[in-house]
């Protein structure tokens, strides 16, 4: 099935260019870096909607209608009602998990779509195709709702870091289809690009999301098993709250990627990042190679 997912991603992907920001690069050599942790959306990949979960209502409606049609589902009701149903289901999943004590919950998008289809079907708003796979619907919606493309320089940077012997990891708010972006749009799977399987942390697998610190704690434990201390790890991300703040709390060094206005999140009004400063600021990904040489 993963091959089918990758084919869908490729067929709906077109080149995107980052949008310039007002940020200035702040580069310096970070001595002793042995490992690099990357965010995905807005860092390794340009995200047309900025990041997962952000898009206009009109874009969501069009994505939903197109995705349902692609999997053979006829929508009988108003797309606005279907989108409202999608948001309601996500909200209910979040509320359930918060009640269970998870501060920053993450949904399993396959279960979300299963619930949405059942609710729309029971309300007479859609007629589902036989044996419909909600995962397939999730992919079709995502490629329309949040098109992505590799960030300029990402392949060269990963090649450089891998050849330089740096350990590579991922900490991402993501869903199952996120892992398919690598073989679909880059030169191999995440593992083939140098991201060891025990250094890949995705929110859909953990049931919780950034800025929760659990991501980074688990990453730190995995690095510790390799005798790599937090200070020898640099986190690269586009979000001061979701990426820079929790990484610094665990003693990691940080690189704010400020190369795309769609996804740069400075969070200037958020008190949680007051006083937080990244160690370096990158306006191009490849600049990281100058900081960890």
Q: What stretches of 26-185 show up as alpha helix (H) in DSSP? A: 57-70, 79-99, 109-122, 134-145, 154-163, 181-185
55: pLDDT strictly greater than 60: no
- 130 versus 12: the higher-pLDDT residue is 12
Q: What is the pLDDT of residue 54?
A: 47
As a whole number of angstroms, the distance between CA 144 and CA 214 comes to 31
| Token pair listed for 123 | 């309300």
pLDDT digits (tens, 9 = 90+) for 78-109: 999 999 999 999 999 999 999 999 999 999 99
Q: What is the pLDDT of residues 208-265, one digit of tens each?
A: 999 999 989 999 999 999 999 999 999 999 999 999 999 999 999 999 999 999 999 9
What pLDDT is stored for residue 52 in this prediction? 45
Strands (E), the chain: 35-38, 45-47, 74-75, 126-127, 148-150, 167-172, 195-202, 233-237, 253-257, 280-282
For the ranges 16-20, 42-46, 47-51, 187-191, which has the lowest average pLDDT? 47-51
Q: Can you give the pLDDT at residue 176?
A: 97
Specify the pLDDT at position 19: 97
Phi–psi pair at 143, nearest 5 degrees: -65, -25
- Give yes or no for a contact between 246 and 211, defined as CB atoms under 8 angstroms apart: yes
The answer for 9, left when phi > 0, alpha when psi is -120 to 50, beta otherwise, is alpha
**What pLDDT is stored for residue 106 in this prediction?**
97
Percent of the chain residues topping a pLDDT of 70: 96
DSSP SS3 for 26? strand
CA distance from start to end of the chain: 39
Stretch 123-137: mean pLDDT? 82
Contact 47, 179 (CB under 8 A): no
pLDDT for 53? 47
Distance CA 123, CA 110 (A): 20
The continuous run of DSSP H or E covering 8 comes out as: helix 2-11
Helix/strand/coil for 126: strand
């Amino acid at each position: 099935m993963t091959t089918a997912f990758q084919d869908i991603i490729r067929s709906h992907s077109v080149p995107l260019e980052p949008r310039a920001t007002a940020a200035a690069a702040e580069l310096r050599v970070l001595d002793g870096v042995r490992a690099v942790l990357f965010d995905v959306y807005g860092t390794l990949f340009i995200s047309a909607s900025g990041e997962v979960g952000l898009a206009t209502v009109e874009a969501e409606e069009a994505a939903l209608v197109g995705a349902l049609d692609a999997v053979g589902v006829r929508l009988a009701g108003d797309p606005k009602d279907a989108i409202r149903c999608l948001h309601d289901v996500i909200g209910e999943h979040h509320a359930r998990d918060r009640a269970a004590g998870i501060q920053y919950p993450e949904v399993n998008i396959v279960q979300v779509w299963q619930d949405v289809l059942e609710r729309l079907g029971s309300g007479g708003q859609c007629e589902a195709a036989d044996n419909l796979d909600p995962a397939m619907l999730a992919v079709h919606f995502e490629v329309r709702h949040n098109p992505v493309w590799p960030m300029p320089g990402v392949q060269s940077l990963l090649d450089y870091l891998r050849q330089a012997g740096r350990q590579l990891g991922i900490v991402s708010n993501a869903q199952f289809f996120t892992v398919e972006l690598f073989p679909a749009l880059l030169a191999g799977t995440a593992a083939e690009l140098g991201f060891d399987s025990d250094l890949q942390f995705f929110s859909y697998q953990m049931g919780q999301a950034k800025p929760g610190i659990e991501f980074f704690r688990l990453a730190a434990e995995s690095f510790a098993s390799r005798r790599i201390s937090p200070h020898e790890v640099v986190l690269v991300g586009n979000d001061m709250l979701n990426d820079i703040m929790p990484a610094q709390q665990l003693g990691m060094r940080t690189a704010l990627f400020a190369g795309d206005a769609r996804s740069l999140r400075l969070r200037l009004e958020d008190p949680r990042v007051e006083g937080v400063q990244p160690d370096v600021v990158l306006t191009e990904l490849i600049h990281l190679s100058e900081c960890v040489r």
